[in-house]
Amino acid sequence: MKRPFPILMGLLCLLLPGIAGGEALPAALAAALHPSDVLLVTEEPHRVVYSQHPDTLSVPASTLKIATALLAFETLGEAYRFPTDAALTEDRILYLKGYGDPLLTSEVIEKYAGVVAKELGASGIDSISGIRVDDTYFDRITIPGVISRSHQPYDAPNGALCANFNTVNYRRAKNGGLISAEPQTPLLPFVAKRIPPNAPGGRIRLSPAESRLYAGHLFGWFLQKRGIKVTGTVAPLPVPKGPFLYTRRLLSPWTLAEAVNKLMAFSNNFMANQIFLASGAHAEGTPATLEKGRSAFCHVMTRLITHCPAVVEGSGISRQNQLTARTMDALLEQFAPYAPLLHTEGGVRYKTGTLNGVSTRAGYITAPTGRAYRFVIFTHRAKGNAGQVLDALKADLSAPVTSN
């Protein structure tokens, strides 16, 4: 005798968007989820444990950085170090060329300047007649979702030669004068003139025109600190073909894997798009553009997860980025070897994502039993809180297993 009920239930699973396999949601987890929230929990390798709307397109916010990291590892390699080139022409003009280093901080520039000063001094050169900065490795970039007049560091403009995330922190000294809020960074006249006269302290974000010069001014300041006399101006100009009195390729003190670890910890959108753009230039040729970044991204994603999600930039700041929980789960499966680079808390490794009205989490849970799970949580509502959903999920997966 045929039993139509299982067949009807199977059809319902296909027709109802909230049902897509897995077990019934436990009461506490169901209470934490809104009917519109997206959830997918998979026990490794592929057993779906819980799911709700796993095939609904969603804004991933900063969980997208997992995909950007995969792009970079596949394109540049874990051991890649971002370079910066220095070259001195016969008329003693020092050229600096950037390649998109997302971690070109004051500490790094001081180290580079120390290397260059020592090597110039060993060659009998104790002065330079100007500094030229070459940022032609990147095209002029506008990131979808970035507010151009914002002073927030996550809205900083991207470029091939950017120092300190294109931002400057300052404060007032006891005597009322302006000083740097960071002991490792001088407050240069180049940027001090940008600070409002009565500002008590804070942060300014450099414009694209200023940002490409800032690294040059810092480099010159640190060269003088190391005994090299610097005269002339700092100006934008591509590196000529030569001849040169001196050349040096300076490599970041951090590997790409270490940079990604910092990216995941601080969720810096500027860093993410520097990595996204540099990966595109490496794969598709210079200058770096968003289009080349997206093209490289699609090639890598198609190879790794068989399709290309709708992604317009690499940080997750744009709401035009759209993917499903099932796609994010596939990305997590590929990212598993790099899971230690994510934030870790109580047996959970994960990446957060937050935009106005968007709260997301994606990562890995190891239960006390040793069973390993991947999870994706997307909420898109005013009071959505993916963290609360994750707490309920952790409690459920950590609960003692009972038998009848």
Q: In 76-149, where does DSSP find H-type helix? A: 106-122
The answer as to whether 188 is a domain residue is yes
Residue 56 gets which letter from DSSP? S
CA separation for the pair 213, 318 (Å, rounded): 28
Q: Are residues 94 and 198 in the same domain?
A: yes
Residue 295 gets which letter from DSSP? H
The answer as to whether 403 is a domain residue is no
pLDDT band at residue 383 under the 50/70/90 scheme: confident
Q: What is the pLDDT of residues 32-48, one digit of tens each?
A: 999 999 999 999 999 99
Whole-model pTM over 0.75: yes
pLDDT of 247 over the 70 cut: yes
Q: Which residues pair with 167 in a beta bridge?
A: 205
Tokens 């690499």 found at? 314
Q: Are residues 149 and 24 in the same domain?
A: no
Structure confidence at residue 15 (pLDDT)? 38
Tell me the CB-side half-sphere exposure of residue 252, using CA atoms within 13 A. Answer: 21
Q: Of 254, 289, 323, which residue constitutes the final position of a domain?
A: 254
The answer as to whether 353 is a domain residue is yes
pLDDT of 20 over the 70 cut: no
* Contact call for residues 364 and 336 (beta carbons, < 8 A): yes
Q: What is the pLDDT of residues 298-315, one digit of tens each?
A: 999 999 999 999 999 999
Q: Are residues 195 and 211 in the same domain?
A: yes
The answer as to whether 169 is a domain residue is yes
pLDDT band at residue 294 under the 50/70/90 scheme: very high
Q: Are residues 33 and 93 in the same domain?
A: no
Task: Read off the pLDDT of each residue in 16-30 and give the average, rounded to a whole number.
Answer: 74
CATH number at residue 244: 3.50.80.20
Q: What is the pLDDT of residues 112-167, one digit of tens each?
A: 999 999 999 999 999 999 999 999 999 999 999 987 667 676 778 999 999 999 99
Q: Are residues 102 and 177 in the same domain?
A: yes
CA 390 to chain centre: 23
Q: Are residues 149 and 57 in the same domain?
A: no
Task: Read off the pLDDT of each residue in 91-116 and give the average, rounded to a whole number.
Answer: 98
228 or 399, higher pLDDT: 228
CA 234 to chain centre: 29
Number of domains, the chain: 2
pLDDT of 375 over the 70 cut: yes
The answer as to whether 366 is a domain residue is yes
Q: Are residues 104 and 151 in the same domain?
A: yes
Of the listed ranges 16-20, 243-247, 292-296, the least confidently predicted one is 16-20
Q: Of 192, 220, 254, which residue constitutes the final position of a domain?
A: 254
Task: Read off the pLDDT of each residue in 356-381 and give the average, rounded to a whole number.
Answer: 97
Q: Are residues 93 and 207 in the same domain?
A: yes
Q: Of 227, 254, 281, which residue constitutes the final position of a domain?
A: 254
* Contact call for residues 41 and 51 (beta carbons, < 8 A): yes
pLDDT of 7 over the 80 cut: no
Tokens 């700092």 found at? 234
Q: Which residues pair with 362 in a beta bridge?
A: 351, 376
Structure confidence at residue 22 (pLDDT)? 77
Q: Are residues 57 and 98 in the same domain?
A: no
Of the listed ranges 92-106, 192-206, 215-229, the least confidently predicted one is 192-206
169 or 7, higher pLDDT: 169
Collapsing DSSP to helix, strand or coil, 167 comes out as: strand
Tokens 């001196």 found at? 246
The answer as to whether 272 is a domain residue is yes
pLDDT > 90 in the chain, percent: 81
Task: Read off the pLDDT of each residue in 174-196 and give the average, rounded to a whole number.
Answer: 91
Q: Are residues 230 and 283 in the same domain?
A: no
Q: Are residues 236 and 137 in the same domain?
A: yes
CA separation for the pair 10, 321 (Å, rounded): 32
- Residue range of the domain that includes 133: 83-254
Structure confidence at residue 400 (pLDDT)? 65
Question: What is the dihedral sign for C-alpha 207, 211, 212, 216?
Answer: positive
Q: Are residues 290 and 391 in the same domain?
A: yes
Average pLDDT of the chain is 92
pLDDT of 211 over the 50 cut: yes
CATH number at residue 386: 3.40.710.10
The span from the first CA to the last CA of the chain, in angstroms, equals 31
